[in-house]
Amino acid sequence: MKVGIDFGTTHTVAAVVDRGNYPVVSFDGLDTWPSIIAANEAGELRFGLDAAAVRHDPGWCALRSFKRLLNDAGPRSTVELAGRSYRLAELFAGFLAQLKSDLQHRSNIELPAGEPVEAAISVPANASSAQRFMTLDAFTQAGFEVAALLNEPSAAGFEYAHRYRSTITAKREYVLIYDLGGGTFDASLLKMTGRLNEVVFSEGIQRLGGDDFDEAILKLVRNGTGLRKLPAGTRDLLLEECAVRKEAVGPNTRRFLVDLAAVGKEPFSCPIDDVYAACVPLVDKTINALSGVLHGDVDWSDIAGIYVVGGAGSFPLVARTLRTTFDEKRVKRSLHPFAATAIGLAVFLDREAGFVLSERLSRHFGVFREACAGEDVCFDPIVPKGSALPTAGQPPFVVTRTYRAAHNIGHFRFVECSRLRDGHPDGDVTPYEPVFFAFDPDLSDDQDLPRRAVRRRDDGPDVEERYVITSGGAVEVTLTTRPDRLSRTFRLERHDLASA
């Protein structure tokens, strides 16, 4: 069984490969599986459909949008739920194990017990290397055989290519993907030639999605009704009510109504334009990011279309703003806003379809190092943003550097960042857990390198740094000294804020 799985902030969606078709899997009759975890004080956990079923029950506590936590997480990050502390990585793996079990027992597909499930999975274009690793790990632990990890907008691009190939002409062979989901916004410029989809440039906003529209609307309601302090449970109920009402807004809606029975008040009502005004700043951010993706030699006349995917792209203000900012005829909304990414992942997995992806790194990757005998710090970019990554099945992208060690211990502080300014990391910077490596052979068995004093030495060995970047954009570094050939490989993981 081959399946594309889009783990989303709000929904998780699966689509299977079935003889040239890519049907979306339905669970108990629904095309989406809720991205919710619930726990009670006894320490019982529920995931997905089961979690949604108990989310309002007394004694149960629901964790929504936990994909957002992965932005700032490391492998040891924990989260509090119903008075207990859980490892996020374990909750995530448990969630996916339940998804796998529901694929088998509660879905409309035939999946015999024991049949391997080959999965293509995805992360936001702007996800850090650590989020990629955590996602890969969780899927593997849950028993999936992960065949590929793609960026979400790249996957949506395959759905576009599969369905709308005919819109691509020799003159207009670029497509802009606009993906506004529950938690993240991604914009990607793809070049489509034959069966090759090449990602030219990606830009993302890690914390911008439908959840933020719900918050903006709740704020409007609270300001309009003088609702100040709210207990957490009541706030969640109102937020859910705002989301439901927001999803019901259509192009002809004139007034917006929110039921306030949960707080014993009369319903809130306002002109729809007030709701749009509250959401304009959010939509404007996405338009700016989208415009930023058009660069280099590519301009508007080369674009076959803007492809709008993701549930929050259905908000009428989004379509209206896109149409007034860009050429109306070239804005195309996906027929499957929730499922475009999962379908695209399935298309990619289908070798018969023959599509190939050439992906680019969406963030700069580099290392800080001491300079001027420890007086100063410089930044060495190792792999620049926009570097082409290997296609799946090809050998990984490798960068090596060699130099003479100037210290007894190497202390590497790796970071990823969305921009460089004057050669220094800028914008959205993600630090990694520091890596310590003994250049001095006498320290090679030392388990406590971080506590040893770093000393300069003039007779240091030669050091080779070998970076391996996979098609999914994750990075491993192997450090080797010569002539002793002491060597170690480190999987780079995000600096863990929770355990710091």
Where on the chain is the footprint of ligand ATP (CB under 6 A)? 8-11, 35, 67, 181-184, 209-211, 243, 246-247, 310-312, 314-315, 338
Q: Are 27 and 107 in contact (CB under 8 A)?
A: yes
Q: Please identify which residue in the block is written with the tokens 């003994």.
A: 438
Q: Which part of the chain contacts Mg ion (CB under 5 A), choosing from 8-16, 40-48, 139-147, 280-288?
A: 8-16
Q: What does 338 bind: ligand ATP, Mg ion, none (CB cut-off 5 to 8 Å by kind)?
A: ligand ATP
Closer to ligand ATP at the Cβ: 312 or 477?
A: 312
Q: Taking CB under 5 A as the rule, which mask of x and - marks residues 144-183 in contact with Mg ion?
A: -------------------------------------x--
Q: What does 209 bind: ligand ATP, Mg ion, none (CB cut-off 5 to 8 Å by kind)?
A: ligand ATP
Per DSSP, what are the bridge partners of residue 15?
4, 24
Closer to ligand ATP at the Cβ: 184 or 286?
A: 184
Residues 6+ apart with CB under 8 A from 86: 39, 78, 79, 80
Q: State how far Cα 500 lies from the chain centre.
A: 23
Structure tokens at 439: 């250049």
Closer to ligand ATP at the Cβ: 33 or 437?
A: 33
Q: What does 67 bind: ligand ATP, Mg ion, none (CB cut-off 5 to 8 Å by kind)?
A: ligand ATP
Q: Which amino acid is at 383?
A: V
Strands (E), 84-193: 84-87, 118-123, 145-151, 174-180, 185-193
Least distance (Å) from ligand ATP to the CB of residue 210?
Answer: 2
Least distance (Å) from ligand ATP to the CB of residue 309?
Answer: 7
Q: Closest residue to Mg ion, Cβ-based? A: 181
Least distance (Å) from Mg ion to the CB of residue 179?
Answer: 6
Least distance (Å) from ligand ATP to the CB of residue 497?
Answer: 21
Least distance (Å) from Mg ion to the CB of residue 433?
Answer: 28
User: What is the size of the binding site for Mg ion (CB under 5 A)?
Assistant: 2
Closer to Mg ion at the Cβ: 10 or 481?
A: 10
Q: What does 211 bind: ligand ATP, Mg ion, none (CB cut-off 5 to 8 Å by kind)?
A: ligand ATP
Strands 303-309, 331-333: pairing is parallel
Q: Which amino acid is at 236?
A: D
Q: What does 414 bind: Mg ion, ligand ATP, none (CB cut-off 5 to 8 Å by kind)?
A: none
Per DSSP, what are the bridge partners of residue 490?
477
Per DSSP, what are the bridge partners of residue 63?
37
Angle between helices 272-293 and 316-325 (to 10 degrees): 50
Q: Closest residue to ligand ATP, Cβ-based? A: 210
Closer to ligand ATP at the Cβ: 314 or 430?
A: 314
Residues 6+ apart with CB under 8 A from 139: 5, 96, 119, 121, 146
370, 376, 365, 378: which is closest to 408 by C-alpha? 370
Closer to Mg ion at the Cβ: 2 or 11?
A: 11
Structure tokens at 381: 């970019």
Least distance (Å) from Mg ion to the CB of residue 431?
Answer: 26
Cα 471 to Cα 16, 27, 222, 233, 494: the distances in Å are: 22, 31, 46, 42, 19
Q: What does 236 bind: Mg ion, ligand ATP, none (CB cut-off 5 to 8 Å by kind)?
A: none
Please report whether residue 8 would count as binding Mg ion according to CB under 5 A: yes
40, 2, 50, 42: which is closest to 22 by C-alpha? 2
Closer to ligand ATP at the Cβ: 211 or 359?
A: 211
Distance between CA atoms of 3 and 377, rounded to whole angstroms? 46
Distance between CA atoms of 355 and 194, rounded to whole angstroms? 9
Distance between CA atoms of 452 and 51, rounded to whole angstroms? 48
Q: Taking CB under 5 A as the rule, which mask of x and - marks residues 14-53 in contact with Mg ion?
A: ----------------------------------------
Closer to ligand ATP at the Cβ: 286 or 314?
A: 314
Least distance (Å) from ligand ATP to the CB of residue 95?
Answer: 13
Please report whether residue 75 would count as binding Mg ion according to CB under 5 A: no
Distance between CA atoms of 122 and 146, rounded to whole angstroms? 10
Least distance (Å) from Mg ion to the CB of residue 311?
Answer: 8
Q: State how far Cα 28 lies from the chain centre.
A: 27
| Residues 172-231 close enough to bind Mg ion by CB under 5 A | 181
Instruction: Give the interface with Mg ion as residue ranges (CB under 5 A).
Output: 8, 181
